[in-house]
Every structure is written in C-alpha cells, then in structure tokens.
Amino acid sequence: MSGEFSRSLEVLSVFRPTQGEQVSKYNVPADVPNDLIETYIQNMDAATAGTGKMNLFACDQKIEHLNDDFYDGGDAIPLTSNDPKHLFEIGQRCHDAGTIGVLAGQLGLISQYARDYPDLPYLVKLNSKSHMVKTAQRDPISQAMWDMDDVMSLTHNGINVVGIGYTVYIGSEYEHEMLSEAAQFIRQAHELGMIAVVWMYPRGQAVADEKDPQLISGAAGVAACIGADFAKVNYPRAFEGMSQPESLAIAAQAAGRTGIICSGGGSLPALEFLERLHAQMSVGNCMGAATGRNIHQRDTESAVRMTAACHAIICEGASVEQAMAIFEGN
C-alpha cells in the first residue's frame, strides 16, 4: 500500500456503530471500515441527493470521443460546448439547485477546474481511451492513468471527491487486466469511505452484439462480483417477447445490490429522451442514469433545465409531463 493512500486511511473521520445498530439507509459494503461508514454515507448522500439514486453528469468524453461530442461547427452543438468550462458551469449551477449527483470526469480535467468549483461533487475517472483504434484492429484495453494517491491529493486540497470511476470492456482479450485494476480500485475507494462506479461495456472481437441483453445482464453481474456500488451499462436491445425496459430490468436484477445506471447515449429530442429515461427508471428498475451529450450539447440554460428534469424523474419519481414542464421552464 502506497504512503499517501495509507496515511489517508488514518486521517479520515471516525464512526463506530455498536453491534446490531442500524447504521445506514444504504447497503454499506463490508470492505468499508466501520470507522468510515459515516463518511461513505455522506458521500453516497452527496452523489444521490440522499435518495440512493444517481443523476450522473458524464463529462469523460473529451478522451473517449475526442472532440466529436463538443464541436460540429455550430450546426447542432452550441459553440460554447467546445470549452470544457461549459461542463463545470453546468455542474455548479445544478449543484447549487440540488439537481445533480456527481460530475464524472478524468482526474486531469477535474484538477484543471476544481479550484474554481471545489464544492461540486466529483467522481474521478481513473482510466480512459479514445475511440480511434477500432475493435477490428485490436481488442479494447483501458488501463489506469492515476491511482488513489492522486485522488487523495485532490481531497487534501479541499476538492469534494466522493468516488471513483473505471471502465471495463467485458469480452476483450484484455478484460482480466481491467477487471483486476477495477476490483482493486473499488476496494481502495471503499477503504477510504468513497463510492465506486464502473462503466461495464461488452466489447471486443468475441462480442457479436454489444447491446445483447444477455451480455448486458452478464456485465451487470460482473460489476456486482467486483464490488461496485453502481454500474453504467448501455441500454440493451430487447429479449424476445420483452420490451427494452423490461430487458433492462433483467440486468438490474442480475446486478443485485449494485445499482444499474443506464447510459444516456447520443442526443435525442427532449421529449423522447425523457420518455426513455422514465421507462428505464419505472420499468427497468434502474438506480439512476449517466447523461452527457443530452445535457452538455445544449446552451447552459437549457442544459441546467435538462439536468433538473432528469433529477425529477430519477430522484423524485416525476412523470414525463412534469419533467418536460421543468425542461421547458414552466
């Protein structure tokens, strides 16, 4: 165990439940030390607005998709979206309004802006890769660029880091390397009272269909086995005889106590996106959503309203009509 990580375990807050005491409204993993259960609960509260359901603002695409999601010459994406500051301005406005769970981004990106937005709850993404090398060239591998010492350097500087994130490509010939790293980071995050989210994507030459519902359910189960608190998955295509949301519910069941959060995917018209999100929550039994392009590919005001609309569905059980009224500013 490295020095900074070891010292961090010694300085965090103390909470010792007595035997048989009800310690949390959440499931607290057994690898969270007893004296850091309160810290874990506080981080979970921050990440889920106290509901256990996460409205995750996905801001990791600057590496994952390069600039494709941020600039198109002003045709459909506002020119302001090209500046990374746009992400943090949205995040801060939504945090002030109580409508965001976490802003998820790579450690380097967060470190560039977090001193201006230190109270915004951050989920630090530890690995990333671009989309340049296609599966036909080589199976995907995305290994860590930072470790928990680097994460703790942010917290020691007053940045509100509540958890970590990591992507695993199930079905890649390199899945073992990614699973091993993810499992260790999850354990280390829990030892510090932080939450852990994994992006679980079936991908590789052995994967015929990345949205096969059986594979999505399998990836959800793997996330449970490595101890993640939440797993982001793609919206599966439907099992025969089922709808898409019903098929997503199979993955949610397979994940057990790991909460499934569904990927927001590419930009959709607002009503279509909110209808899909509502079905994912109410029928698919998701524990949240990870939304990037459907938020940040808008001007700041519209992005803030869309985040609030997502929060209403995810954390408050709002109807599509109620969420649309929020988005439209009514």
- Give the residue numbers annotated as catalytic, written as ranges: 201, 232
Contact call for residues 109 and 117 (beta carbons, < 8 A): no
Q: How far is 143 from 148, CA to CA, in rounded Å?
A: 14
Residue 262 β-bridge partners? 233, 289
- Dihedral angle sign, alpha carbons of residues 61, 5, 119, 26: positive
Dihedral sign for Cα atoms in the order 255, 231, 40, 303: negative
What is the C-alpha separation between 208 and 186, in angstroms, rounded?
29
Own/partner contacts of 128-135, CB < 8 Å, gap of 24 or more, are 128/60, 128/63, 128/64, 128/167, 129/63, 129/64, 129/167, 130/63, 130/64, 130/65, 130/66, 131/64, 131/65, 131/66, 132/66, 135/203, 135/204, 135/205, 135/207
188 contacts 5 by C-beta, under 8 angstroms: yes
Cβ partners under 8 Å of residue 221, min gap 6: 254, 255, 256
Q: Which two tokens stand for residue 68?
A: 């494709």
Contact residues for 320 (Cβ-Cβ < 8 A; gap 6+): 271, 274, 275, 278, 313
